[in-house]
Structure 1
Amino acid sequence: MAISLPNGALIAIASGYGASKTMSALTNAAAAVATLEASHGVIVGDILEVTSGWSRLTDKIVRASVVSTNDVTLEGVVSTSTAIYPAGSGIGSVREITGWTQLSQILGSSSQGGEQQFLEYQLLEADAQKRIPTVKSAGGLTLQVADDPSLAGYQLASTANDDRLARAVRITLPSGALIFYNAYISLNKTPTLTVNEIMAVEVTLSFLAEPVRYTS
Structure 2
Amino acid sequence: MAARFPLPNGATLEIARVIGAAIPFTALTNAKPPVATAAGHTIQNGDVLLVNSGWALISDRAVKASNVADDAFSLAGLDTSDAEKFTAGAGVGSVYPVSDWVQISKVTSFNSAGGEQQYATVGYLEDDDDKQFPTNRNPTTLSIVVEDQPTAPYVQAVEGYDTSKELAVIRMKLRNGDQILYPGYVSITPDPTMERNNVMTRTISVGLSARSLRYLAGA
TM-score past 0.5 threshold: yes
Deviation at 1:18, TM superposition (A): 2.3
Query: In the TM superposition, what are the counterparts of 1:101-180 in structure 2 within 5 Å?
Result: 101-180=102-181
1:11 aligns with 2:17: no
Q: Which residue of 2 aligns with 1:24?
A: 26
CA contact (8 A) 2:41 2:70 kept: no
Under a length normalisation based on structure 2, what TM-score does the superposition of the two structures give? 0.95
Q: Which residue of 2 aligns with 1:57?
A: 58
Q: Which residue of 1 aligns with 2:203?
A: 202
Counterpart CA distance in 2 for 1:156 and 1:172 is 19
Under a length normalisation based on structure 1, what TM-score does the superposition of the two structures give? 0.96
For the residue of structure 1 that corresponds to 2:126, the secondary structure is coil
Deviation at 1:17, TM superposition (A): 2.5
State the number of aligned residues.
Answer: 215
Query: In the TM superposition, what are the counterparts of 1:62-77 in structure 2 within 5 Å?
Result: 62-77=63-78
For the residue of structure 2 that corresponds to 1:127, the secondary structure is coil
Deviation at 1:199, TM superposition (A): 0.5
Counterpart CA distance in 2 for 1:166 and 1:2 is 36
CA offset digits 1:69-113 (Å, max 9, x no partner): 211111111111112211111110011112111111111122111
Q: Which residue of 2 aligns with 1:97?
A: 98
Counterpart CA distance in 2 for 1:195 and 1:102 is 28
For the residue of structure 2 that corresponds to 1:134, the secondary structure is strand
Counterpart CA distance in 2 for 1:104 and 1:121 is 48
Counterpart CA distance in 2 for 1:4 and 1:170 is 18
Opposite residue 153 of structure 1, the aligned amino acid is: Y
Change (3 A) 1:137 1:148: same
Deviation at 1:56, TM superposition (A): 1.2
Q: Which residue of 2 aligns with 1:191?
A: 192
For the residue of structure 2 that corresponds to 1:162, the secondary structure is helix
TM-align CA RMSD: 1.3
Counterpart CA distance in 1 for 2:214 and 2:85 is 20
For the residue of structure 2 that corresponds to 1:153, the secondary structure is helix
Residue identity (%): 34
Counterpart CA distance in 1 for 2:20 and 2:187 is 23
For the residue of structure 2 that corresponds to 1:123, the secondary structure is coil
Counterpart CA distance in 2 for 1:24 and 1:52 is 11
Q: Which residue of 2 aligns with 1:82?
A: 83
Counterpart CA distance in 1 for 2:100 and 2:159 is 17
